[in-house]
Amino acid sequence: MAKTSVSTLLKMKQAKQKIVALTAYDASFAKLFHDAGVEIILVGDSLGMVLQGGDDTLAVTIADIAYHTRCVRAGSKELFVIADMPFMTYSNPAAACENAATLMRAGANMVKLEGGEWLYDSIRLLTQQGIPVCGHLGLTPQSVHVFGGFKIQGRDDAQAERMIADAKALEAAGAQLLVVECIPSSLAKRISEAVSIPVIGIGAGKETDGQILVMHDLVGISAGYIPKFSKNFLAETGNMPAAVKKYCDDVKSGAFPGPEHEFN
């Protein structure tokens, strides 16, 4: 598979070709995912839950993400690697630049920040300094205590309109990719149509430009429970390479996610 870039992803959106993404945290899985046809790897702060055993993502540090980014990059030179900016590592533009630089040096192609229009100045400065940015709207796990738990976002009209405005603001600031999480499928479709940058969904229905899952959910080994928006592809296929290939094929064809994985 050819090396993926920001330009590749933008062309895929324009051609209405679905983008496939997964989280990964080490070299072995990064290579497996690349060989199966995954375009984007997210080194997610989800590692705080699936690797470290935490109840949320808040304890993850920039050093944690940098370590796992180096591991993932060692597994594939061609994959497009996004590294999460952990909790309180981008509270102001200067901090955002310093911490993002650490992740880019570790091998990331892009960094991901959670939040809306308030990030405008940070994203603008990051992109001016040559650091590509992915935004993240909807259920943003670092704000779990503000939300009162892991709850669906954007169900009322005011919140939906705010999210669309935030998406436009993030693009205007220079963000080149956007993740939307746990929002109604109708809202995800509106956001995907409102911006020219690719929109990757998780628990956001099939009308986004691509899909991402936490790898542990994809194979049914997440501690606690498997989210409604996920699917155990390992149970269906019987081995890891086949499970990842099935996920890629189903995203590309539009078979996943199905109606049973959406929120209305």
Which sequence positions are flagged as catalytic?
Answer: 181
Q: How far is CA 213 from the centre of its chain?
A: 8
CB contact at 8 A, 43 and 83: yes
Residue 262 annotated as binding site = no
C-alpha 151/C-alpha 182 separation (Å) is 8
Q: Is 84 annotated as ligand-binding?
A: yes
Q: Is 157 annotated as a binding residue?
A: no
User: Is there a binding annotation on residue 112?
Assistant: yes
Cα–Cα distances in Å, from 127 out to 63, 93, 180? 22, 11, 21
Sorted by sequence, the CB contacts under 8 Å of residue 246 that are 6+ apart come out as 233, 236, 237
* Cis bond before residue 132 (omega within 30° of 0): no
Neighbours of 234 (CB within 10 A): 18
Helices and strands counted in the chain (H then E): 12, 8
Q: Is 232 exposed, middle or buried (0-12, 13-18, 19+ CB in 10 A)?
A: middle
| % helix, strand, coil for the chain, step of 5 | 45, 15, 40
Is 171 assigned a ligand-binding role in the annotation? Answer: no
Annotated binding site for Mg(2+): 45, 84, 114
Annotated binding site for 3-methyl-2-oxobutanoate: 45-46, 84, 112
Annotated binding site: 45-46, 84, 112, 114
